Amino acid sequence: MRSSPAVRARGITKFFDEVIALDGVDLDVPAGQVHGLVGPNGAGKTTLLGLLLGLAAPDSGALQILGAPVGRSLSVPDGVAGFVDGPGLYPGLTARRNLAALAALRGLDRADAHVGEALEQVGLTDVADDRVQGFSLGMRQRLGVAAALLTRPRLLVLDEPANGLDPAGTRQVHRVITDVAAEGTAVVLSSHRMDDLAALCAQVSILAAGRVVFSGPVRKLAAESGELDYRVVVSDPAAAPTVVSQIPDLRLLPGRDFGARYDSEALVVRGPVTALDQLVARLVRADVAVRELAPVVAPLEAAFLALTGSTAEPSDAGSR
Ligand SMILES: Nc1ncnc2c1ncn2[C@@H]1O[C@H](COP(=O)(O)OP(=O)(O)OP(=O)(O)O)[C@@H](O)[C@H]1O
């Protein structure tokens, strides 16, 4: 049983009337892995997480969760916890009472100890006796994660757990997720933020229009970005174009396309990273100092945009 993957999905399809939300999705998540789902709005992330939580059943395909096949009946599979579309909480109750109610509902022994531990894990001990209606979005998210941890799940399913979190809250939730994964719990989470996924996930699956367009380690995704646009600020802007023109794989892009985002001093060049190496070396040889050099769009985000055919940034995604 221990060696069973937490999730094994093959050819999962899910329709909502005429809309195909998932179209032949495969997903493998071993125990102890943090697996990220990313994709543009409407790509199918929430639908897939909902299937893992037993909130809906696939129309076709095979889904195994914690080694057991999932049938047509709707119920949260044993050992699975989490939330989609935000955690369900009682605003009029305190954080502690919310968790106590859930613990009672799930028939947990030593409920008080579990509740105290879960609040501690997400850093809400100090506000445990405050009503949830006064909580910020980020505090609610953290309480939702605490609620999911109450039953010590072997598969934790979280839809946008970083939504609304400030940097301290994000770090706290990341730590909780990393800790439970280190103890063997598989975590499947969605995020619009590539920086979140890069920090947390061993593997990511990119969904676009219900299909998996990439699945693998984050570093492999970054390597897929190939040619990137780089913004370069040098000490002698007039000299730089000549140097750029001497490097076969590098092109200078018209400045006007970037003028609104960047100062007029910056050049924008497009090419593989090896061409950038040559540029820096040649500029230095020509006595031109490089003051700034950075990709216009972060490599992970560039790969995301290329794979999903998006033209805009993935929501509030992460070039931050
Ligand atoms: N209950 C529903 N009834 C009808 N259509 C639905 C339902 N749930 C999802 N859909 C449709 O299925 C597709 C996938 O939606 P889903 O919410 O899974 O995407 P998502 O990747 O989570 O998007 P977002 O990033 O906006 O949360 C969309 O076209 C959506 O409109």
Q: Domain spans of the chain?
A: 7-222, 225-308
3-state DSSP: the chain helix, strand, coil percent, rounded to 5? Answer: 35, 25, 40
DSSP character at residue 133: G
Q: Quick one: which atom of ligand 1 is closest to the CA of 49?
A: 18
Residue whose CA lies nearest to ligand 1 atom number 27: 41
**Is the CB of 278 inside a 6 Å radius of any atom of ligand 1?**
no
pLDDT of residue 313: 44
Question: Which tokens belong to 260?
Answer: 């609104």
**Is the CB of 68 inside a 6 Å radius of any atom of ligand 1?**
no
Domain 7-222 is found in CATH 1.10.3720.10: no
Stretches in the chain below the pLDDT threshold 50: 1, 256, 258-260, 312-320
7-46: pLDDT as tens digits: 999 999 999 998 999 999 999 999 999 999 998 889 999 9
C-alpha 207 to ligand 1 mean position (Å): 12
Domain 225-308 CATH class label: alpha beta
Q: Say whether 128 sits in a helix, a strand or coil.
A: coil
Q: What is the pTM of this model?
A: 0.81
Does the ipTM surpass 0.90?
A: yes
CB 11 within 8 A of CB 48: no
Q: Give the ranges where the chain is alpha helix by DSSP (H).
A: 45-52, 95-105, 111-121, 137-149, 167-182, 194-200, 218-223, 240-245, 273-285, 299-308
Q: What is the rounded CA–CA span in Å between residue 275 and residue 270?
A: 9
pLDDT of residue 211: 95
CB 199 within 8 A of CB 174: yes
Residue whose CA lies nearest to ligand 1 atom number 6: 16
